[in-house]
C-alpha cells in the first residue's frame, strides 16, 4: 500500500507542479546550461536519467566546515574528515552528489573546527558559494546547488556585516505594514542572491503563544497579522529570486520546550490548531512559498508521541492533502535532539518516508546517504518516494533565478532606507505621553550586561539627533534585550526600552516604556529619532503584555 500511495501521490503532485510552472532560468557558475523546458518537466526528464546514487544526494542538505569550497584551514579539514571522510566542502559535494548545502554561522559542535564557521563577510560568502556551484557543476546531474542559510534577522541572523540588517519579525508585526514588509524582504533577498544564496530558511510562520521559545522570531500572537506578514515576507523574498521557507510546521509558538533540546508538545485541539497555528501556513502556501520546514513537534491532536517531522499524518495527510502544498518539505535540522532518538541513518530513512523531500543537517551525512541508498536497493524505501522527493527538489532548483551579477545592492542606500522605514513604524510606546516629549534635558544611556554595542549605537544616534548625552547624571534611558530578566532592569530609569520581546516591560517602573523588538542598527536609529522627538512611536505591540496596552497612543 505504501508503494502505491507514493506512486499515485507523486503523479498528482507532478501534475500540479506542471500545471503552474515557474519561469525557467539558465544557470551558470560552473553548471552546464540546460534546454529551456519548464522546471517541472525539466526536473522529471533529468530524474529519469539519474542513478539511485545521484537521487539520494539530491535530497540531502548537510553543513560542511570551512569558508571556501576547496581551500580550508587545517581545523576545518580535520572536522570535515571526521564528519564525512573528505577535507573540503567541494569534495563533500562530489562524494555524496549533494543537492544542497547550508551555510552556518556557528561552530557545529566540533571543538577541532574553531574559527571555521562558513560566514565571515559578503565577499567571502560570494566566493564560497561560487566555488560550491562549480563543484555541483561537476556532478552527473549538472543541476545548480541549493545554498541556504537562516537569515531571519533579529536574534537569528547568520550574515551580520556588510549587508542590510532588518529588524526582527516581531518588529514587522508591530509596524503592521505588509507593503513595507514586502519591500524590506525584497531588499534583503536581493542581497542574499547577490552573494549566491538561493534559499532562506525564513519567514517564521509560528504564532506566538504562551511560550517564549520562539519569542521575537514570531510576527506576533494574532493569526491574521502573522499570516499577512508571512505572505508579504514570502513575496518579497521570492520576488528577489530567493526561495522562502515557512517554518516550523505546524507551529512552534505554544509549547514551552525548545525543540533543539527536547520534543515539545502541542496540546491544542485540532480545531484550535486550524484556527490559530495553521492559519499563517495556509496564507504562506497560498502566496506560493516554495518550501515548508517540518518542526520537531509532538502534535498530540494528530499523531501523539511522534515528531511532526517524522509523521506522515502531518506531512502527507495534513500538509500535502488537506492544505494542498506541492513544494519542497524540508526537515528542521536532523542534528537536533528529537531527531536523534534514532541513529542517523535510520532517522534519514524515516524522515524521507514520512514525506520530507530535503533532509537538513543530518548529524552523519554518510550514514544518511548509505541508509537511504540501501533502503532503495532492498525495497524498504520505495524508489517512487525517492524519485518524488528528488523531482521536487530539482523542480525548485530549475525555477530559481541565477545568482545576481555584482555586489552593488549590498547595504545600498535604497535597501537601508527600506529597512529603516519599517523599523521606524515598529517603535511602540507602551507607557508614556503621545503628545509630550518622552524625555527632556541631558540623558544617560545604560544597558544590561552584554549590550555594549547597542548602547554605543544609541548614544551615537542620539548625539546625531541633537540630544545631550552625558556619562554621569542625566535621565537614564535603559536598554534590555534577549534573555534578560527582572534583575536586568534599572530601577528608577526614566525610559526603559525592550530590544526583544516586550514582556519584561510589565516589571519596569519607568514612566516611559518603549519597545523596538530588535537591537538591529536600524531599530536603534529609529529609537533615537523617537526619543529626540523627530518621529512618533507609531507601532502597536503584536503580542499582549499583561497590564499594558498594545500602544499607549491608540
Q: State how far the alpha carbon of 550 is from the alpha carbons of 219, 276, 342, 554, in Å.
A: 14, 20, 44, 8
CA–CA gap between residue 218 and residue 207 (Å, rounded)? 6
Cα–Cα distance list, 155 to 38, 166, 231, 483 (Å): 38, 11, 21, 11
- Rounded CA-CA distance 175/163 in Å is 22
Mark whether 260 is an active-site residue.
yes
Cis ω before 250 (30° cut-off from 0): yes
What DSSP state is assigned to residue 23? Answer: P
Contact 186, 237 (CB under 8 A): yes
DSSP single-letter state for residue 335: T
Chain-centroid distance of CA 264 in Å reads: 19
* Catalytic annotation, pick one of 200, 206, 277, 332: 332
- Helix (H) or strand (E) holding 231, with range, is helix 223-239
The separation between CA 25 and the C-alpha centre of its own chain, rounded to angstroms, equals 25
Spot the catalytic one: 28, 260, 261, 507. Answer: 260
What DSSP character marks residue 419? H
Residue 438, all three cell numbers: 518622552
8 Å CB contact between 174 and 428: yes
Residue written as grid cell 513595507: 180
| Residue the block writes with cell 544526494 | 57
Q: Which residues contact 64 (CB under 8 A, 6 or more apart)?
A: 80, 83, 84, 88, 89, 92, 101, 118
Specify the 3-state DSSP secondary structure of 381: coil
Give the Cα separation of 467 and 443 in Å (integer).
Answer: 8
Residue 295 DSSP one-character state: P
The question of whether 252 is a catalytic residue gets the answer no
Using the structure block, give the residue that is written with the C-alpha cell 542625566: 474
Q: How many helices (H) and strands (E) does the chain have?
A: 18, 17
- What cell numbers appear for 440 in the block? 527632556
Cell of 364: 552523519
Counting Cα atoms < 13 Å in the Cβ hemisphere of 326 gives: 20
Nearest Cα to Cα of residue 519 among 416, 444, 427:
427
Grid cell at residue 143: 543541476
One-letter-per-residue 3-state SS of 145-182: CEEEECEEECCEECCCCCCCCCCCHHHHHHHCCHHHHH
Active site residues: 260, 332
Amino acid at each position: 500500500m505504501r508503494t502505491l500511495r507514493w506512486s499515485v501521490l507523486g503523479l498528482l503532485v507532478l501534475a500540479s507542479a506542471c500545471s503552474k510552472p515557474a519561469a525557467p532560468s539558465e544557470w551558470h557558475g560552473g553548471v552546464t546550461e540546460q534546454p529551456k523546458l519548464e522546471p517541472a518537466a525539466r526536473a522529471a526528464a533529468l530524474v529519469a536519467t539519474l542513478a539511485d546514487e545521484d537521487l539520494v544526494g539530491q535530497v540531502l542538505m548537510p553543513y560542511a566546515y570551512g569558508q571556501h569550497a576547496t581551500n580550508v584551514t587545517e581545523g576545518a579539514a580535520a572536522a570535515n574528515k571526521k564528519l564525512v571522510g573528505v577535507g573540503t566542502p567541494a569534495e563533500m559535494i562530489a562524494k555524496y552528489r549533494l543537492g544542497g548545502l547550508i551555510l552556518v554561522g556557528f561552530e557545529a559542535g566540533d571543538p577541532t573546527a574553531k574559527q571555521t564557521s562558513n560566514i565571515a563577510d559578503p565577499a567571502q560568502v560570494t566566493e564560497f558559494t561560487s566555488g560550491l556551484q562549480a563543484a555541483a557543476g561537476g556532478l552527473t546531474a549538472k543541476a545548480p546547488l541549493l545554498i541556504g542559510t537562516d537569515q531571519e534577522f533579529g536574534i537569528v541572523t547568520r550574515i551580520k556585516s556588510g549587508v542590510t540588517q532588518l529588524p526582527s519579525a516581531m518588529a514587522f508585526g508591530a509596524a503592521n505594514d505588509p507593503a513595507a514588509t514586502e519591500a524590506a524582504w525584497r531588499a534583503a533577498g536581493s542581497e542574499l542572491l547577490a552573494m549566491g544564496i538561493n534559499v532562506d530558511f525564513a519567514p517564521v510562520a509560528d504564532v506566538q503563544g504562551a511560550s517564549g521559545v520562539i519569542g521575537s522570531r514570531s510576527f506576533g500572537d494574532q493569526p491574521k497579522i502573522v499570516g499577512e506578514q508571512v505572505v508579504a515576507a514570502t513575496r518579497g523574498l521570492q520576488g528577489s529570486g530567493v526561495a522562502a521557507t515557512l517554518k516550523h510546521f505546524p507551529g512552534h509558538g505554544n509549547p514551552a520546550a525548545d525543540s533543539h533540546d527536547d520534543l515539545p508538545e502541542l496540546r491544542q485541539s485540532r480545531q484550535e490548531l486550524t484556527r490559530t497555528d495553521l492559519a499563517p501556513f495556509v496564507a504562506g502556501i497560498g502566496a506560493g512559498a516554495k518550501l515548508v520546514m517540518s518542526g520537531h513537534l509532538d502534535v498530540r491532536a494528530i499523531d501523539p508521541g511522534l515528531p511532526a517531522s517524522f509523521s506522515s499524518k502531518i506531512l502527507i495527510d495534513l500538509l500535502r492533502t488537506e492544505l494542498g502544498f506541492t513544494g519542497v518539505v524540508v526537515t528542521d535540522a536532523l542534528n537536533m535532539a528529537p531527531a536523534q532518538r534514532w541513529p542517523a541513518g535510520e532517522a534519514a530513512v524515516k524522515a524521507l518516508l514520512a514525506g520530507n523531500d530535503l533532509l537538513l543537517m543530518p548529524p552523519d551525512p554518510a550514514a544518511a546517504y548509505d541508509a537511504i541508498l540501501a533502503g532503495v536497493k532492498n525495497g524498504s524505501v520505495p524508489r517512487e518516494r525517492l524519485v518524488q522527493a528528488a523531482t521536487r527538489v530539482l523542480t525548485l532548483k530549475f525555477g530559481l533565478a541565477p545568482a545576481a551579477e555584482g555586489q552593488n545592492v549590498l547595504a545600498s542606500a535604497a535597501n537601508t532606507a527600506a529597512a529603516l522605514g519599517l523599523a521606524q513604524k515598529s517603535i511602540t510606546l507602551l507607557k508614556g505621553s503621545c503628545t509630550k516629549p518622552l524625555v527632556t534635558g541631558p540623558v544617560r544611556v545604560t544597558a544590561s550586561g552584554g549590550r555594549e554595542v547597542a548602547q554605543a549605537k544609541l548614544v551615537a544616534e542620539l548625539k546625531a539627533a541633537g540630544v545631550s548625552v552625558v556619562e554621569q547624571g542625566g535621565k537614564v534611558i535603559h536598554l534590555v534585550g534577549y534573555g534578560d530578566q527582572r534583575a536586568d532592569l534599572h530601577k528608577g530609569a526614566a525610559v526603559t526600552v525592550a530590544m526583544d520581546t516586550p514582556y519584561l516591560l510589565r516589571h519596569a517602573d519607568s514612566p516611559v516604556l518603549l519597545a523596538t523588538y530588535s537591537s538591529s542598527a536600524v531599530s536603534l536609529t529609529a529609537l533615537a529619532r523617537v526619543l529626540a522627538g523627530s518621529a512618533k512611536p507609531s507601532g502597536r505591540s503584536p503580542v499582549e503584555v499583561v497590564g499594558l496596552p498594545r500602544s499607549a497612543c491608540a
